Amino acid sequence: MEKIAEICGIEFYYIENSNFKSDTVTVNFCDRLDAKRAYKNAVIPALLWRGCRDYPTSKKLTVKCQELFGTAFMTDVGKRSEIQHMLFMVDFLKDEYVKAFDGEENFDDEYIAKEAFKLLIKVLTDPVTEGSGFSEKYFKQECTNLNNDIYAEKNDKHHYAMRRCREVMFAGEAFAVSELGYAEDGENLSSEELYDYYRSYFLKKVPCRVFYCGKKRPDALVDMFREAAATGVFGDGERGGAYIDYVEKHYISREEIKSLTEEYEISDGKLVMGFRTNTPQDSDGFFPLVLMNTVYGGGTSSKLFKNVREKNSLAYYAGSRVSAVKGVMFVTAGISPDKFDTARAIILEQLDEIKKGNITDEEFEAAKNNIINNLRNLAEDQYSLLDYYLDQSFLNKSYALDEYISNIEKVKKEQLPEVAKKIQLDTVYFMKGTKEDDDEE
Amino acid sequence: MKSNITLIEAPELGEKLYEFTHSSGLKVQIIPKKGIYKKFAVISVGFGAVNTKFILPGQSEITTVPDGVAHFLEHKLFEQPDGNMLERFNAAGARTNAATGFSKTYYYFNCTENFDICFDMLMHFVTHPYITPENVEKEKGIICREIKMYEDNPEYVSSMNLFKLLYHKNPVRKEIAGSVKSVTETTPQDLMLCYDNFYIPSNMVLTVVGDLETEKIYDEVCRHFDGFERKECPVKYFEREPDSVVAYRSEKKMDVSRSMFAIGYKNDPSVLIGDEYLIHGLAGNILCNMLFDKSSVFFEKMYEKGLIDYSFSSDFELDRNYAAASLGGESDNPEELLKYVNEYISETSANGINENDFIRVKRSLLGSDIRMLAFPESIGKLFSSMYLQGIQGFDYFNVYGKITANDVRKVLERVYMREPVMSVVKPL
């Protein structure tokens, strides 16, 4: 990865790769999660996708993308620890494959790419407006849609249980803020206020990184951004940094362990346990922690999979995920409501095994191979690759893919119990199913 | 190059394919990808959730096995005398998984290193079941948790209920994993009966993708399969499915924030002969995008009315055993949406297919399909699944050139001009 430009504080990175049949650009606005701004940030991508001056409806935008040989244009709002991530992505076919289409005349070099870049910048900077606001109709509809998405979060119980655990564990911290914001923040928001926010803050102040993955440097893309910037739309270049803080609080006392059970009408119970890892990202324990998590609950040779699922048939899935950067680890399992105590005990017992150093060479090697394979696989898919580099860009200490891999390779088994000993249980959340078994047939 | 290996090239797609049929009847496809790390292999078996009734070779009676047996077998094959294969693949740094569909089961892995070891394990475990009364009993607990997990997923429930509305007899109306009752009743004998009769090389296809040596793959396949004789597959039995649907509406209450709907049109694949099958499938896919994707008048109008949002999607499913076109998403008023759908279909049928829309959508879908070919797993799964439906992967791309607006018109008349059914999952 190479940094190729910086325009008004927007950083441009180029990742060379010619293995794919398409080239990809992502524009990533990365704001620190803040309850006051979350809703506004979340509604903007969907609103911009409703149309720009040249293509004033989603229908016209879609038609344009389809004419460009099925160019994919997507917007999204996500969360990376306490960063709210607003994504604009364009993925388009390389010129050389146009010959697979019957009766297509030869296009100018980079025709698809240039059209796709132009469209991307138009959508970002030239939305449909009305007076001094966004189009009133689009604004209202997208607020309604966002509200519906907020209410719909509980439809996916697994995801929702994770969110509830995070909210309990990080009450009052940025990490607990929802990336979709809160519906009540939309109630008093006007289209004018949002438009002003978009012009004066979103485009000008939110840290922004543009990644491009393709065969050669995207000079045309950089030129087009520079041209747009000349109008002042991206401000004067003062943007805060986007970074992930290590947890605000560590080492809690035993009395502070939180436990919450909530009842829902479902048949499978969802258990989520939140732990504090107490190992900062820039410390020596970082890579051992990544490995320790995999030995514990990452994948099918992990202790949790073997003991919760295979040995005791307690769950269909059981695993752990660590945000080593953030200093937290979550264990999740889908269990029947009467198995709560058993599952909780086995999950803690397996962590104790690691603390005691009971890790076989097979478990350790499997975890290592697994992580390395996953990392190498990243390079085989431009979306994952761009994702990896975006995540790295949030860290004080970042690693190129090869560097990350060699650091994993260097970890010794003896280091794992050391990092495990620092891990502390913080929150136990149980979404308890109350549905009676109704097995007709 | 071994004499029975055929090379098929598609230079315009930047891809090629080596294929051969082993003496055991196993079909092998090798898709070379020069210069990339990732390697992918998949074995697909022509045995899925719908195959619970069949006539064994040399018999005339129909044999019936419990629902969910194909899925149960998929779980069980990963267990070997020396441990769970999931673990062994993981130890080699590979990612492995399997899935049971209505008419097929497939087993695959992805890796960057240790391909030879993994390839050997894949071929070995699919051909060497280790099924004991104890391990079958143990697996029941895990599968029942899995069934419960699906029951909590409103999207799954609404699409499952759609099939229950569309089909009287076709087993696609039943859950792929079976029910808690059918799983509990499944015996090791049921599993072995299905294994012995359906997991035979002539009912399988092996597809590998990556920077690999064709000759070496060939030799490895021979080493594993030379001991297998070509065997006859049982006749898959299906009860005659009436043309009618079971009912037009179903409703279920769940803990969701707004209603989720699935609207479906019953389609009959059995009448499609030869090329018609692929043409119908692609034309149907083009049509469902023309009618309902974000470039359509319908999407724009309904979105503006607030009757749909970005969760709205349309699908044109075609399999040799069943077929249906569907629409799904979330809405506050599915009944009203359905009224608009019906009006819209009649209008489209009266006004005819717009030639420009047809050309544009076709071009767009071909572009998206070509992009997917870059990924070993996508191209491997596509070619494997196509083969089981009797289609060679590149033909799928070649057919794009042959499809006309008239083919699309035919699908509109045949599939969408009948009264649709709708299943809704409503908030409590």
Residue A59 has pLDDT above 70, yes or no: yes
Q: Which chain A residues are closer than 8 Å to B87 by Cβ?
A: 300-301, 306, 366
Residue B241 lies in a domain: no
Using CA atoms, how far apart are residues A127 and A142, in angstroms rounded to an integer?
14
Containing structural domain, residue B288: 249-427
**Kind plus residue range of the DSSP H or E element containing A424:** strand A424-433
Q: In chain A, what are the domain boundaries?
A: 2-229, 254-433
Q: Do domains A2-229 and A254-433 have the same CATH topology?
A: yes
pLDDT by residue (tens digit) across B184-196?
Answer: 999 999 999 999 9
- Note whether A22 contacts B310, CB cutoff 8 Å: no
ipTM of the complex: 0.89
Closest by CA to B398, choosing from B279, B285, B317, is B279
Residue A404: CB atoms within 10 Å: 19
Instruction: Dig out the tokens for A73 from the structure.
Output: 């244009």
- Note whether A310 contacts B370, CB cutoff 8 Å: no
Instruction: Dig out the tokens for B136 from the structure.
Output: 């079958």
Domain count, chain B: 2
| Cα nearest neighbour of A72 on chain B | B368
Q: Which of B260, B303, B374 is the closest to A19 by Cβ?
A: B374
| Cα nearest neighbour of B10 on chain A | A100
Determine contact: A72 vs chain B, CB below 8 A. Answer: yes
Q: Which chain A residues are closer than 8 Å to B286 by Cβ?
A: none
pLDDT by residue (tens digit) across A123-170?
Answer: 999 999 999 999 999 999 999 999 999 998 888 888 999 999 999 999
- Weakest-pLDDT range from A101-110, A243-252, B177-186, B232-241: A243-252
Contact B237, B296 (CB under 8 A): no
Partners of A7 in the beta sheet?
Answer: A10
Determine contact: A434 vs chain B, CB below 8 A. Answer: no
Strand ranges (E), B149-286: 204-210, 235-236, 249-254, 259-267
Partners of A30 in the beta sheet?
Answer: A85
Contact B21, B27 (CB under 8 A): yes
Angle of helix A219-229 relative to helix A111-125, nearest 10 degrees, comes to: 30
Using CA atoms, how far apart are residues A211 and A252, in angstroms rounded to an integer?
39
- Note whether A380 contacts B375, CB cutoff 8 Å: yes
Contact B343, B305 (CB under 8 A): no
| Cα nearest neighbour of A96 on chain B | B12
Residue A281 pLDDT class (50, 70, 90 cuts): confident
Question: Same domain, yes or no, for B172 and B287?
Answer: no
Output phi, psi for A273, to 5 deg: -120, 125
Residue A105 pLDDT class (50, 70, 90 cuts): low
SS3 A177: coil
Burial class (CB in 10 A: 0-12, 13-18, 19+), A173: middle
So what's the pLDDT on residue A440? 41
So what's the pLDDT on residue A245? 65
SS3 B423: strand
Residue A308: CB atoms within 10 Å: 29
Using CA atoms, how far apart are residues A379 and A402, in angstroms rounded to an integer?
10
Read off the DSSP letter of residue A353. H
Question: Same domain, yes or no, for B361 and B287?
Answer: yes
Single-letter code of the amino acid located at B114: N
**Count of residues in chain B:** 428
Question: Same domain, yes or no, for B220 and B326?
Answer: no
Residue B242 lies in a domain: no
Instruction: Dig out the tokens for B121 from the structure.
Output: 């394990």
Contact B194, B47 (CB under 8 A): yes
Q: Which of A300, A310, A372 is the closest to B90 by Cβ?
A: A300
Write down the number of H helices and E strands in chain B: 15, 17
Q: Which chain A residues are closer than 8 Å to B293 by Cβ?
A: 62
- Test mutation, B294, B298, B396, B428, chain A, max A CBs within 10 A: B294
Which residue shows structure tokens 């438009």? A195
Residue B10: CB atoms within 10 Å: 15
Question: Same domain, yes or no, for B259 and B230?
Answer: no
Q: What is the mean pLDDT of residues A418-436?
A: 91
Point out the domain boundary residue: B197, B212, B236: B236
SS3 A281: coil
Indicate which residue of B9, B15, B61, B74 is catalytic.
Answer: B74
Output phi, psi for A87, to 5 deg: -110, 140
Point out the domain boundary residue: B236, B261, B293: B236
Read off the DSSP letter of residue A307. I
| B263-to-A200, B190, B291, B335 alpha-carbon distances in Å | 44, 36, 14, 10
So what's the pLDDT on residue B119? 98
- Note whether A59 contacts B84, CB cutoff 8 Å: no
Using CA atoms, how far apart are residues B307 and B330, in angstroms rounded to an integer?
8
Single-letter code of the amino acid located at A170: F
Pairing of strands A328-335, A315-323: antiparallel
Q: What is the mean pLDDT of residues A245-260?
A: 72
Q: Which chain A residues are closer than 8 Å to B295 by Cβ?
A: 59, 62-63, 66
**What is A2-229's CATH superfamily?**
Metalloenzyme, LuxS/M16 peptidase-like (3.30.830.10)
Mean pLDDT of the residues in chain A: 90
Closest by CA to A197, choosing from A10, A51, A43, A26, is A43
Between B82 and A58, name the one with better pLDDT. A58
- Number of Cβ pairs closer than 8 Å across A and B? 209
Q: Which of A141, A154, A379 is the closest to B257 by Cβ?
A: A154
- Note whether B179 contacts A441, CB cutoff 8 Å: yes
Question: Same domain, yes or no, for B219 and B360?
Answer: no
Which CATH architecture fits A254-433?
A: 2-Layer Sandwich (3.30)
The runs of H, that is alpha helices, within B256-305 are 276-292, 297-305
Using CA atoms, how far apart are residues A13 and A2, in angstroms rounded to an integer?
5
Which residue shows structure tokens 């990336």? A179
Residue A355 has pLDDT above 50, yes or no: yes
Q: Which of A63, A310, A373 is the closest to B93 by Cβ?
A: A373
Question: Same domain, yes or no, for B218 and B261?
Answer: no
Q: Which chain B residues are closer than 8 Å to A153 by Cβ?
A: 257
| Cα nearest neighbour of A102 on chain B | B401
Q: Which of A58, A305, A439 is the closest to B179 by Cβ?
A: A439
Question: Same domain, yes or no, for B312 and B206?
Answer: no
Pairing of strands B421-427, B249-254: parallel
Determine contact: A118 vs chain B, CB below 8 A. Answer: no
Instruction: Dig out the tokens for A251 from the structure.
Output: 């080492």
Read off the DSSP letter of residue A52. B
**Kind plus residue range of the DSSP H or E element containing A275:** strand A269-276
| Cα nearest neighbour of B397 on chain A | A100
Question: Same domain, yes or no, for B156 and B260?
Answer: no
- Note whether A99 contacts B149, CB cutoff 8 Å: no
Question: Same domain, yes or no, for B332 and B358?
Answer: yes
**Kind plus residue range of the DSSP H or E element containing A15:** strand A10-16
Point out the domain boundary residue: B184, B210, B236: B236
Question: Same domain, yes or no, for B258 and B338?
Answer: yes
Residue B227 lies in a domain: yes
Query: Using alpha carbons only, what angle is made at residue A41 by residues A40 and A43, rounded to the nearest 5 degrees?
Result: 70
- The question of whether B151 is a catalytic residue gets the answer no
So what's the pLDDT on residue A9? 93
Contact B8, B17 (CB under 8 A): yes
Domain at B304, CATH number: 3.30.830.10
Single-letter code of the amino acid located at A394: F
SS3 B152: coil
Cα A423 to the center of its chain, rounded Å:
24
Instruction: Dig out the tokens for B378 from the structure.
Output: 């996508």
| Cα nearest neighbour of A100 on chain B | B12
| A83-to-A40, A51, A184, B60, B185 alpha-carbon distances in Å | 14, 26, 21, 65, 50
Contact B98, B77 (CB under 8 A): yes
- Note whether A313 contacts B93, CB cutoff 8 Å: no
Q: Which of B86, B146, B295 is the closest to A59 by Cβ?
A: B295
Single-letter code of the amino acid located at B92: A
Question: Same domain, yes or no, for B227 and B144?
Answer: yes
Using CA atoms, how far apart are residues B93 and B113, in angstroms rounded to an integer?
7
pLDDT by residue (tens digit) across A304-337?
Answer: 998 888 788 787 788 999 886 788 999 999 888 8
Q: What is the pTM of this model?
A: 0.90
Question: Same domain, yes or no, for B54 and B151?
Answer: yes
Determine contact: A383 vs chain B, CB below 8 A. Answer: no
Closest by CA to A88, choosing from A129, A36, A47, is A47
Using CA atoms, how far apart are residues A93 and A67, in angstroms rounded to an integer?
12
Looking at chain A from residue 285 to 344, which residues have their Cβ under 8 Å from any Cβ of chain B?
Answer: 299-301, 305-306, 309-310, 313-317, 334-336
Using CA atoms, how far apart are residues A263 and A431, in angstroms rounded to an integer?
6
- Note whether B294 contacts A59, CB cutoff 8 Å: yes
Residue B243 lies in a domain: no
Single-letter code of the amino acid located at A67: E
Residue B244 lies in a domain: no
Using CA atoms, how far apart are residues B55 and B46, in angstroms rounded to an integer?
15
Q: Which chain B residues are closer than 8 Å to A93 by Cβ?
A: 367, 370-371
What's the gap in Å between the CA of A249 and the closest CA on chain B?
34
Using CA atoms, how far apart are residues B25 and B22, in angstroms rounded to an integer?
5
Residues in chain B with pLDDT values less than 50 = none
Which residue shows structure tokens 């991307």? A120
Determine contact: A75 vs chain B, CB below 8 A. Answer: no
Q: Which chain B residues are closer than 8 Å to A314 by Cβ?
A: 141, 145
Using CA atoms, how far apart are residues A278 and A252, in angstroms rounded to an integer?
10
Q: How far apart are the first and last CA of chain A?
A: 57
| Cα nearest neighbour of A138 on chain B | B304
Partners of A133 in the beta sheet?
Answer: A130
- Note whether A151 contacts B257, CB cutoff 8 Å: yes
Q: What is the mean pLDDT of residues A429-437?
A: 83
